[in-house]
Amino acid sequence: MMPGTHSGQTLNDRLNAARYALAGQGLARVVYLLQCTDEQNVSIPQLANLLIERTQQSSWIVVFKALVTVHHLMCYGSERFTQYLASSNCNFQLNNYLDKAAPKGYDMSIFIRRYARYINTKALSYRTVAFDFTKVKRGDESQLRQMGMEKLLKTIPVLQTQIDTLLEFDCNANDLTNGVINAAFFLLFKDLIRLFACYNEGIITCLEKYFELTNKKLARETLDIYKKFLTRMNKVGEFLKVAEMAGIDRGEIPDLTKAPSSLLEAMEQHLAAMEGRKPG
Residues 33, 81: Cα–Cα separation, whole Å: 11
Q: What is the DSSP letter of 133?
A: G
pLDDT of residue 23: 47
Our CA angle for 221, 223, 226, nearest 5°, is 110
Q: Evaluate whether 99 touches 59 at the Cβ level (below 8 Å).
A: yes
pLDDT above 60 (res 24): no
Residues 255, 251: Cα–Cα separation, whole Å: 10
Banded pLDDT at 26 (limits 50, 70, 90): low
141 in a structural domain:
no
pLDDT of residue 243: 93
pLDDT of residue 126: 97
Question: Do both 91 and 153 map to the same domain?
Answer: no
Question: Do both 188 and 234 map to the same domain?
Answer: yes
pLDDT above 50 (res 19): no
Report how many domains make up the chain.
2
Q: Widest CA span of the chain, in angstroms?
A: 76
pLDDT of residue 30: 74
Question: Which residues span the domain enclosing 89?
Answer: 1-130
138 in a structural domain:
no
At which of 78, 97, 130 does a domain end? 130
Question: Do both 86 and 118 map to the same domain?
Answer: yes
Model confidence pLDDT, tens digit, residues 32-76: 788 888 888 888 999 999 899 999 999 999 999 999 999 999 999
Q: What is the DSSP string of 26-62?
A: -HHHHHHHHHHTT-TTS-HHHHHHHHHHHTTSS-HHH
pLDDT of residue 82: 95
pLDDT above 50 (res 155): yes
Question: Do both 207 and 248 map to the same domain?
Answer: yes
235 in a structural domain:
yes
Question: What is the average pLDDT score of the chain?
Answer: 87
- Helix/strand/coil for 103: coil
In this prediction, what percent of the chain has a pLDDT beyond 70? 89
Distance of CA 125 to the CA centre of its chain: 9
Model confidence pLDDT, tens digit, residues 234-276: 999 999 999 999 988 888 888 888 777 899 999 999 999 998 8
Cα-atom radius of gyration of the chain, to the nearest Å? 21
pLDDT above 90 (res 217): yes
pLDDT of residue 21: 44
Rounded to 10°, the helix 179-210/105-129 angle is: 40
Question: Do both 274 and 167 map to the same domain?
Answer: yes
Comparing 135-144, 203-212, 241-250, which segment has the lowest mean pLDDT? Answer: 135-144
pLDDT above 80 (res 139): no
Residues 123, 130: Cα–Cα separation, whole Å: 10
Q: How far apart are the first and last CA of the chain?
A: 66
pLDDT of residue 165: 98
Question: Do both 151 and 271 map to the same domain?
Answer: yes
Question: Do both 112 and 185 map to the same domain?
Answer: no
Mean pLDDT of 126-144: 89
Question: Do both 125 and 2 map to the same domain?
Answer: yes
Residues 94, 216: Cα–Cα separation, whole Å: 42
